Amino acid sequence: MSTRPFAVVTGGSNGIGLELARQFATNGYDLLIAAEDRVHLEEAARDLRSSGATVDIHAADLSREDAVAGLHGTLRGRAVDALCVNAGIGLGGPFLETDLQTELKMVDLNVRGAVQLTKLVLKDMVVRDAGKILLTSSIAGTMPDPFEAIYGGTKVFLRWFGEALRNELKDSGVTVTVLMPSLTETNFFKRADMMDTRAGPAPKDDPAIVAKAGFDALMAGKDKVIPTAKNKVMGAIADLLPDRAAAQIHRGLSEPGSADRKLDPTKPLAIGAAALGVGALLFAGWRRRPHLPAHLGGTSGSSTAKALHITLKARAGKEAEVESLLQGILDEVRHEVGTRPWFGLRRTESTFEIFETFPNEAAREAHLSGKGAALLMERSNAVLASPANIDRLDVLLTKHA
């Protein structure tokens, strides 16, 4: 029997799952990859074996209880060093119109199958006091997901299932990590019938980058990982927003027919870009500059009112241009919206601080209900349009007493 560590990856025939398997194969693991399509599994296995790994396949519909039990049975008692519960499907569209049987299968695969396989494999890990589990959730787990209501619900479940399980196992040698990718270049949107949505044709992350982030976090024993800097910012902002505002953001990405619509700045679709609106600047900027670092932190106080504080460091010689652009945007939006300016701008040499603060939750809600954030999203793109403008971004989420 091989002395190499052994990993099991479900949904391992394509997309993020295949790239996760590749990470294991190139880092000295043997593999069992599982998915429904045998042909795709065989193609993936041939590819993975080129790295020197022993790769077995298991073709089965893991939405079925007997199929999950069968997958576990193929292990024949072999110790699993790493389990990646990655198999999943999605479906877009209005809940009243989507196919019920597809949604029930989604729940069975994304949730029931994940729970069953995790429990079966985890018992042996705990006996050995060693093992690593990676659950693929989604950044969709940070917000309500209109037009993906069932899919989003399954990803919320996986997020908190993983976090809870990690806590239960904190005194053991077993770790649980939750992977929370954003839009990724896979077949997901085509299979979910979402190519007519804004999310369908939108720029997406490379699944290899997503998988490496997940693998690195798993090996480091981290609780969760949101791959890429722009997605860390997006997730942080989504957690900051009221649920109804975050739901409206997601609607703008997932509503059928939205791919052909232009943003209407009089509607609060874009409020999710920011609790202050300038967070939208990050969305456009990170898409253009994915290599920039983002350092996320936070402090807590006694109040429920929250604020977003962004620090930008301009590149040498670009300070005046950045300051002019930022100040012009803020002044324009203040003038057009005609509300109290809950946000401001400070400069210290080449560093710029964009900040917001609300005296209470009611003031924050009132600001978000207006069109200021939408206007800021629409008009702040110019700040980061040039790849030479910004050297560094720091984002701090705070609660204010």
Active site residues: 151, 155
Please say whether the beta carbons of 342 and 356 come within 8 A: yes
Q: Which residues of 267-303 are buried (b: 16+ CB within 10 A; e: fewer)?
A: ebbbbbbbbbbbbbbbbbbbebbeebebeeeeeeeee
Which tokens sit at 4?
A: 């190499």
Distance CA 32, CA 76 (A): 12
User: Which residue, among 229, 212, 224, has the nearest Cα to 19 in the 3D structure?
Assistant: 212
DSSP for 180-207 reads: ---SBSSSHHHHTT-TTSSSTTS--B-H
Please enumerate in sequence order all residues whose Cβ is within 8 A of that of 49, keeping only pairs 6 or more positions apart, or say none.
25, 55
Q: Is 57 helix (H, G, I), strand (E, B) or coil?
A: strand
Q: Cα angle vertex 164, ends 301, 303, to 5°?
A: 15
Distance CA 68, CA 154 (A): 18
User: Which residue, among 85, 70, 89, 74, has the nearest Cα to 122 in the 3D structure?
Assistant: 85
Distance CA 294, CA 237 (A): 13
Please enumerate in sequence order all residues whose Cβ is within 8 A of that of 76, keeping only pairs 6 or more positions apart, or say none.
none
Please enumerate in sequence order all residues whose Cβ is within 8 A of that of 311, keeping only pairs 6 or more positions apart, or say none.
351, 352, 353, 354, 392, 393, 394, 395, 396
Helix axis angle, 207-220 relative to 15-26, nearest 10°?
A: 50
Distance CA 344, CA 390 (A): 19
Which tokens sit at 161?
A: 């299932």
